Amino acid sequence: MTRQMNREDFKHLRELAGKKPKRKTKLIQMLWPEIRQALNAGHTLREIALALKKDGMEINYSNLRYCVACLKRKDIAETHQTAFPSAGVQTDSESVSLDAGSAIKAQRAKKIKFDHDPFSTRIKDLV
């Protein structure tokens, strides 16, 4: 017989939410609001890396820079998505590939073509 589950049965899951993540990238993601505030206040990533080191988190500067760049891009994408929810962005992969194909065709059509017939017998064509 299967017993019915309720919210109190998931105490281990609730405990996980309060624990520090094991991966540094997830920890940076969790600390992103504070890091963003420090950046907006004019502090550099080097200063933030030193502050994290003083707090006991050893992270390579280049890894921190990469994580922050990804989080900034994610913020920009979310801001754009909320500001312009239906800005004509096509989600269908076929229509996007067709647009890319038509752009390439148009670019190729603009190029100057060199038409030469190597088997022409007319002297005008050979010169």
Per-residue confidence of the chain (127 residues) as pLDDT tens digits?
Answer: 566 777 677 787 777 777 777 788 888 988 999 999 999 999 999 999 999 999 988 888 999 999 999 999 998 888 877 776 665 555 554 444 456 667 777 777 776 666 666 676 666 655 5
Q: Which pLDDT does position 54 carry in this prediction? A: 92
Report the domain count for the chain: 1
Q: Does residue 13 lie within any of the structural domains?
A: no
DSSP H helical ranges for the chain: 11-18, 24-30, 32-40, 45-54, 61-83, 93-110, 123-126
Q: Does residue 11 lie within any of the structural domains?
A: no
Q: Does residue 87 lie within any of the structural domains?
A: no
Q: Does residue 70 lie within any of the structural domains?
A: yes
Q: Which pLDDT does position 41 carry in this prediction? A: 94
CA dihedral for 50, 55, 61, 67, sign (positive or negative): negative
pTM of the prediction? 0.52
Domain residue limits at 59:
24-81
Whole-angstrom Cα Rg for the chain: 29
Q: Does residue 89 lie within any of the structural domains?
A: no
- The greatest distance separating any two alpha carbons of the chain, rounded to the nearest whole angstrom, comes to 96
